[in-house]
Amino acid sequence: MKDCLFCKIINGEIPSTKVYEDEFVYAFNDIEPQAPHHIVIVPKKHISSANEINSDNSIYVSKIFEIIPKIAQKLGFDKNGYRVVNNCGKDGGQTVSHLHFHLMAGRQFGWPAG
């Protein structure tokens, strides 16, 4: 989609540090990491937010969650664990309107989240 930051990252218009890519999924390092490992995982199809997930596009979400343990193993934080976060909408703190999951690791995270 035109004027979408993450669509531009996916098509290479905006540079990113790629962690993983396949037909469905693109993953790259977050520019403002909140943890020693902070990876943003996005569907290659423009889906605005978790509110827009449905039976026609949920394959992208399942592909993302299939790839998470593979990234965790590759980067060596599968044993210690990690956190996966989706921010949806204004109250959820979403700043980029292209569905994405934050995969964060390398430190302990508190709960409940603030």
- Catalytic positions, written as ranges: 100
| Contact call for residue 46 and Zn ion (CB under 5 A) | yes
**To 5 degrees, how large is the angle CA 73–CA 98–CA 87?**
70
Which stretches of the chain are DSSP H helices? Answer: 5-10, 58-75, 89-92
| Contact call for residue 1 and ligand AMP (CB under 6 A) | no
DSSP code for 53:
-
Q: Select the residue interacting with ligand AMP from 16, 24, 48, 84 (CB under 6 A).
A: 16
Dist. CA 93–CA 107, nearest whole Å: 21
Binds 87, which of ligand AMP, Zn ion, none (CB < 5 to 8 A, cut-off by type)? ligand AMP
Residues contributing to the site for ligand AMP (CB under 6 A): 5, 14, 16, 28, 30-32, 40, 87, 93-96
